[in-house]
Amino acid sequence: MWNSFFTMLTRIFTTVTTTVDSVEKLLDIGNDYIDNTHKSVTRNAAKQAILNTATQHVRIQNELESDPKLAKIFKDLEAEW
């Protein structure tokens, strides 16, 4: 009887240990996914912001090059700013 009881307890603890190990692995996978996604989103957002800024600067530069009066006013205002 004690042998059967001990065997039952051993199986329960083994099952619980295996389940805890599986949950730990699942959490590791989730954390790794979140870390990698965070890096990707952060880098892509920064690159997109840089591209948006550069695009705006090109439009401004082209407009100023096509209108010398506007370029002069812009330069004066930029100095005050």
For residue range 33-43, list pLDDT tens digits in order.
999 999 999 99
Residue 9 has pLDDT above 90, yes or no: no
Query: In this structure, are residues 59 and 66 in contact, taking their beta carbons and an 8 Å threshold?
Result: no
Q: What is the mean pLDDT of the chain?
A: 94
Total length of the chain: 81
pTM greater than 0.75 (yes/no): no
Among 13-17, 47-51, 72-76, whose mean pLDDT is lowest? 13-17
From residue 43, alpha-carbon distances to 48, 65, 76 in Å are 9, 33, 36
The yes-or-no verdict on residue 11 having pLDDT over 90 is no
* Model pLDDT for residues 19-57, shown as the tens digit of each residue: 999 999 999 999 999 999 999 999 999 999 999 999 999
